[in-house]
Amino acid sequence: MKATAFSITLCIFLPTHVFSAALETSNQSIATFLQPNHYAEFSTAFVDANISGNTYRPEANNPSIYTETSTQNFVNHFYLSSAALKLQLDSNWSAGLIYDQPFGADVSYALDPVATSPDALVNAVDFKVDSNNLTALIGYQPNQSWNIYTGLSYQSLKMHLKISGQSMGILADYIGEIKKDSASGWLTGASYQRPEYALRTSLTYRSKIRHKQQFQEQVSTVPVIPLLNLASDQNTIIETPQSVNLEFQSGITANNLIYGSVRWVNWQNFKIVSPLMSSGNATLVPLVNYQTDQWSTTLGLAHILNDKWTLMTDIGRDSGTGNPASTLSPSDGFYSFGVGGLYNIHSHLFIAAGMKYLKLNKAKIQQVQNGSGSLFGPLSSVNNNNAVAYGVKAGYRF
């Protein structure tokens, strides 16, 4: 079968979850670790999201009267990158490193009915989450078909959040800064392959990673109200979610292969809690949390034109997390369509590029919100939002 000369995992040219449920920006695939022999790759993607809607604001001269106003686009474009190195130590043992950016957010907007008056600010948010993840893997191959692997992940996480808003003529600012923290988790899985059919499947479990981080918070008001002007510097616990990945590929004819994945992420147990706002309350006050777990699927087809060129296309679906519509959660899952191409420069080096279009599902409208997103401002309506990602990948076999 001609397809055995190629690996369809090379054709997954974009991060599958460039704008998916919750804070996820990577599907945390270990497909590069399953490449034959020695292998190295680097990929990067640019994501341009068009996210907007409408929200209610109080009139500047009468805070008891509300009118709708557009949020404009409030998600900044962003870049993602990943890199991997896999070494085949001998016929039975392999080792590898995978770097990616699994979680992130970059939301920024301001609703100001009187542009020249800061005191008239209705609502503004600046929310940014950054993460980096380095996974070290070791695999044991008892025969040509099976690969049993395990490893450790070293992950860093930090967050900045500023929320400003006007209520009854009072301007209040909340600033929360979670300092960068690093913590470790683990993963394990198994892969089965039949090279003569270009068949490969893998099932991988990643544990949650528990971060204990310093959380600096401050609330201030204009005019100054001493009882509301508070500050806190405490530790908080953030656990990035556990997940399961099922990935597969198979040749169907000499020149055509199918590939796909199913992914589950335990977002329902994820929370970012404010120690300052929770102080004295019977229940914890979450700044960010999610109502349901995430399920996502991808299915694609690759066609090998010749020894130099391979074309591919795929479709995908993401279930979302069930949160009501807010400027934190304007969408609830998506449908995606991707196209791309791979060019073999020579037998050891290739480059691939492509684009992926994401049609974002509208989150449900719920004006009275509790929990996640309520501090960010609920949306009265959601526009037909979408995102486009452009990616490039280079791989080297040695």
Residue 106 — pLDDT band, cuts 50, 70, 90?
confident
Residue pLDDT, tens place only, 207-216: 999 999 999 9
Question: In sequence order, which residues have a C-beta less than 8 Å from that of residue 331 and are 6 or more positions away?
Answer: 51, 320, 360, 361, 362, 363, 382, 385
What is the model's pTM? 0.89
pLDDT at res. 331: 81
pLDDT at res. 122: 64
pLDDT at res. 365: 82
Residue 76 — pLDDT band, cuts 50, 70, 90?
confident
For range 326-348, the mean pLDDT:
88
User: Which stretch of 63-72, 184-193, 222-231, 384-393 has the lowest confidence by average pLDDT?
Assistant: 63-72
Residue 373 — pLDDT band, cuts 50, 70, 90?
very low
Contact 95, 75 (CB under 8 A): no
Across the chain, what does the average pLDDT equal? Answer: 85
For range 93-108, the mean pLDDT:
93
pLDDT at res. 19: 55
Residue 113's nearest CA partner among 57, 54, 75 is 57
User: Which stretch of 70-79, 207-216, 362-371 has the lowest confidence by average pLDDT?
Assistant: 362-371
More confident call, 34 vs 10: 34
pLDDT at res. 3: 47
Contact 68, 55 (CB under 8 A): yes
Q: Is the pLDDT of residue 121 over 70?
A: no
Mapped to the 3 state alphabet, what secondary structure does the chain carry? CHHHHCCHHHHCCCCCCCCCCCCECCCCCCHHHHCCCCEEEEEEEEEEEECCEEEEEECCCCCCCEEEEECCCCECCEEEEEEEEEEECCCCEEEEEEEECCECEEEEEEECCCCCCHHHCCEEEEEEEEEEEEEEEEEECCCCCEEEEEEEEEEEEEEEEEEEEEECCEEEEEEEEEEEEEEEEEEEEEEEEEHHHCEEEEEEEECCEEEEEEEEEEEEEECCCCCCCEEEEEEEEEEECCEEEEEEEEEEECCEEEEEEEEEECHHHCEEECHHHHCCCCCCCEEEECCCCEEEEEEEEEEECCCCEEEEEEEEEECCCCCCCECCCCEEEEEEEEEEEEEEEECCEEEEEEEEEEEEEECCCCCCCCCCCCCCCECCEECCCEEEEEEEEEEEEC
Starting at the earlier edge strand, list the strands of the sheet with 66-70.
Answer: 66-70, 53-58, 381-382
pLDDT at res. 133: 97
For range 195-224, the mean pLDDT:
91
- Please tell me the CATH superfamily of domain 2-397, with its number: Outer membrane protein transport protein (OMPP1/FadL/TodX) (2.40.160.60)
Residue pLDDT, tens place only, 139-156: 999 999 999 999 999 999
pLDDT at res. 62: 64
pLDDT at res. 222: 73
Distances (CA, A) of 242 to 205, 239, 245: 8, 9, 10
pLDDT at res. 97: 98
Q: Is the pLDDT of residue 112 over 80?
A: no
Residue pLDDT, tens place only, 241-291: 999 999 999 999 989 999 999 999 999 999 998 898 888 777 888 888 888
